[in-house]
Structures are given as C-alpha cells and as structure tokens.
Structure 1
Amino acid sequence: MKEFVLLYRSEPLGEIKMTPEGTMAVSKEWENWMGGIAAQNKLVSNGARLGNEGRSLKPGIVVTNGPYAEIKEILGGLSIIRAESMEEATEIAKNCPILNVGGNVEVREIIPMNS
C-alpha cells in the first residue's frame, strides 16, 4: 500500500467569525470523515492544521514573511493516508469537508526516500 498526502487549501477567512454552533458542526464533519478513514485502517496521520503565519527561505538565505496576503488560497492543513493507488486516494479525498465550503484538496503520492 502507498502513502498519499492530502493538502487542504482554501481562501483565508480573514475577519469572518463562526458561531460556536457552526464551529462545532464543521469540527464534527471533519471528525466523522477522518474517523471513517481511520476505521478502514488507511489513516497514517490524523491531520494537522497550519497557522496563518510562516516564513519562506530562498537561495542566499533570504527569509520572507508568508503566506502572502495577495495569494488567493492558503495551505490550511494536511493528512497522510494509505491507499492502493492515486485513484483510491482521490476517491477518499472526494468526501473531504473542505469541499463543502469552497476549498480544495490536493492529492500527492509520497515517494519514500532511499535509505
């Protein structure tokens, strides 16, 4: 079985605030979706939310702040799953709750490093 990373992207929420009920509902959707993957023994990492601030390092040790406000979408988190193929990993990703709120999921195979 191969491993795949699911990268969750969406537009920054900015000053939008959710109600506690809305936050709970969204959390429950994610919990149910991740739980379904885990129940199939296909969840390697239960996901990680990423902060809104970061740094980018470029050649010459140039450090810049990021993510950038002018970028339409930001990387908000990731999970690692097991699947037999890219097609199966894509099928799993089709039920991701971020798709219900205008976000998207990038599915990438993880290529093991040679020892």
Structure 2
Amino acid sequence: MPKFMFLQRSSGGCEENRPEMTPEQMQAGMKAWMDWVNNGTEEGWLLDPGSPLDGSGAVVQPDLTVLDGPFTESKELVGGYSIVQAPDLAAACELAKQTMKLAGGGKIEVREFANFCE
C-alpha cells in the first residue's frame, strides 16, 4: 500500500501568533493527539506519528558548505511530520483532514513516497 508523508506547514512566525492556552486546553489537545495516534495505529494506517520539528537546523549546499537554517525568511516553515499508508492520494487527504484539527493552524502537505521497488 502506498505511503504518504504529512508535512505540517505554517506561516513564518507561527509561535508568536498562537493564542495562549490554558492548562485544560493543552491537556485536551494532548488527549486528542493521543486518541489520533491510538486510532491510527489500531486501524493500521498510521505508520509513524512523527514529531514536531525544532526550529534549529542546517542546510548543506551543493558545494558542501553548511549554513545555519532553516531560514526564517522562508514563506512557510515545516513544523512537523507524520507518515501514513493509504490506498491512494485521495484517501491520504481524507486522513490528513483528521489531523487539521490537531495541527493548530497552518496546512498539511500530503506527499507520496516514490516506490522504486515495483
């Protein structure tokens, strides 16, 4: 079955634009995330729940120099990822719709892994 990566994308500066959350809201969000992970695992479509990505990193250039990155001037930043399996892109997009409730804004890019073994 095809595998897909969900890239959680947000506009630059997303941390500053997020509203303050109460401890109860944070707890409810964590419960919703755990329910999503448990349901996806039990149903067999969630292969890796992924993780939020830290803001630090590096960019290796074609000339093999290493620069600090990712660049904050990027229009959109990748904030996290998940890996799922689905029969096709349409089905993967339906699964991505479920994650929008958990993403806290932004959008989810759905990309199929290339399968060179077939």
TM tier, smaller:
0.7 to 0.9
Contact residue 3 and residue 83 of structure 2 kept, 8 A: yes
Counterpart residue number, 1:92: 95
TM-score for both structures, normalised by structure 1 = 0.83
Please say which of residues 19-28 and 76-85 is displaced more in the overlay: 19-28
Give every structure 1 segment of 4 or more consecutive aligned residues whose post-TM-superposition deviation is greater than 4 Å. Answer: none
TM-score for both structures, normalised by structure 2 = 0.81
1:79 pairs with 2:82:
yes
List gaps (5 residues or longer) in structure 2: none
| RMSD between aligned residues | 2.1
1:65 pairs with 2:68:
yes
- For the residue of structure 2 that corresponds to 1:59, the secondary structure is coil
Relative to 1, partners in 2 of residues 1:23 and 1:72: Cα closer, same or farther, differing over 3 Å? farther
Judging by fraction of residues, say which structure has more helix: 2
Count of matched residue pairs: 113
List gaps (5 residues or longer) in structure 1: none
Distance 2:71 2:30 in 1: 26
Identity over the aligned pairs, expressed in percent?
Answer: 35
Contact residue 32 and residue 102 of structure 2 kept, 8 A: no
Counterpart residue number, 2:24: 21
> Over residues 88-108 of structure 1, what are the superposed CA-to-partner deviations in whole Å (9 max), with x where a residue is unaligned?
001000111345x32111111
- For the residue of structure 2 that corresponds to 1:32, the secondary structure is helix
